[in-house]
Amino acid sequence: MPELPEVETVKETLKQQIVGKTIADVTVIYGKLIKNQDAESFKQALIGNTLRNIGRYGKYLFFHFAGVVLIVHLRMEGKFFLKPFSEPYQKHEHIIFSFTDQSTLRYHDVRKFGTMEIVPEGTEMEVEGIKKLGKEPFGSDFTDSYIYDKIYKSTRPIKSLLLDQEIVAGLGNIYVDEVLFLSGLDPRRPGKDVSRIEAGMIAKNCRKVLEKAINLGGTTIRSYTSSLGVSGRFQNELNVHTRKGLPCLKCGNSIEKTRVGGRGTYYCPSCQK
DNA sequence: AAGGGTGTTGAAAG
DNA sequence: GCTTTCAACACCCT
């Protein structure tokens, strides 16, 4: 479930549900999710600690405890479920955080791509993969010039550039397709062939798409189970993504699917040049 | 019914 | 450097 709007939704939901709870125990079933640390020291860093707050940057979640921060990336299919202690473990539940009030937070990840890492408080922005993240599309410094400077020399397709987290933090496959549709740009167009004006359209449409998606609780497609905070409604607003063969909502021509930078890509051949 | 595709990203290869 | 391909893993769809 993980692009910026979905991660934001998870963050907000979890904030309401578990901030203030104290960890009584941690059960690590699949330890490979944990980076730079063994399961035992991971547990010891958390047991007895109270969750103070939850933050987000790009697609990363930050669980703030006293002295340490737990950094989580959901990758392709990571989900959190809040369940009573008595509930038996289910398949694909890899790490269980038990709280002193008998509730448990369970990390569920069919493909096991997600990551968890504990770092000292205050060092979280220096962590590999985070320190190089680009700007999020909110805020006055996310401008046509910011985008243009990042792409104007590149031969890579504009879609790949916008998926690059070092350029825009938080966009993923769904929302990039939507941003390029609204901007009227062919996803295969090389970055060097995108004008400053068009870069401005991209900046504006990133904000538009992400804000709307956040307000609707994100997008839920191909979800096998309902997960905490992931009953999104933005799937009803998609213009191109998942709409192969359906009429373009702007011009009526058929939406096509192709492959750009190894990713499935939906676009309208007549609206996007 | 085997093979390609999947909301991601880092490492390896060219 | 910069760009492209592939691997990590399990499951769904053709």
Amino acid making up residue A235: Q
Contacts of A197 (CB under 8 A, 6+ apart): A144
Contact A179, A209 (CB under 8 A): yes
For residue A117, list its beta bridge partners: A71
Q: Which CATH class name applies to A4-126?
A: alpha beta
For residue A265, give both structure tokens. 């890509």
For residue A14, give both structure tokens. 């979890």
Residues of chain A with CATH 3.20.190.10: 4-126
- What pLDDT, on the 0 to 100 scale, is given for residue A231? 73
Please tell me the CATH code under which domain A144-267 is placed: 1.10.8.50
Distance A99 CA to C3 C1' (A): 46
- What pLDDT, on the 0 to 100 scale, is given for residue A222? 77
Contacts of A207 (CB under 8 A, 6+ apart): A137, A138, A142
Residues of chain A with CATH 1.10.8.50: 144-267
Q: Mind listing the pLDDT tens digit for each residue in A207-220? A: 999 999 999 999 98
pTM: 0.97
Query: What is the CB neighbour count within 10 angstroms for residue A76?
Result: 13
In the sheet that holds A53-57, the strands lie side by side as A53-57, A60-64, A68-73, A115-120
For residue A28, list its beta bridge partners: A95
Distance A103 CA to C6 C1' (A): 40
Q: Among candidates A134, A135, A238, which has minimal Cα distance to A180?
A: A238
- What pLDDT, on the 0 to 100 scale, is given for residue A224? 59
Tell me the C-alpha to C-alpha distance, in Å, between residue A156 and each of A68, A136, A263.
38, 21, 14
d(CA A114, CA A34): 9
Amino acid making up residue A21: K
- What pLDDT, on the 0 to 100 scale, is given for residue A115? 98
Q: Mind listing the pLDDT tens digit for each residue in A167-179? A: 999 999 999 999 9
- What pLDDT, on the 0 to 100 scale, is given for residue A221? 85
Distance A90 CA to B6 C1' (A): 22
In this prediction, the residues of chain A whose per-residue pLDDT falls under 50 are none
Please give the angle made by the CA atoms of A73, A227 and A214, to the nearest 5 degrees.
70
**Protein residues with Cβ atoms closer than 7 angstroms to any atom of nucleic acid strand B:** A 1-3, 6, 58-59, 73, 75-76, 113, 128-129, 163, 165, 172-174, 218-223, 230, 232, 259, 262-264
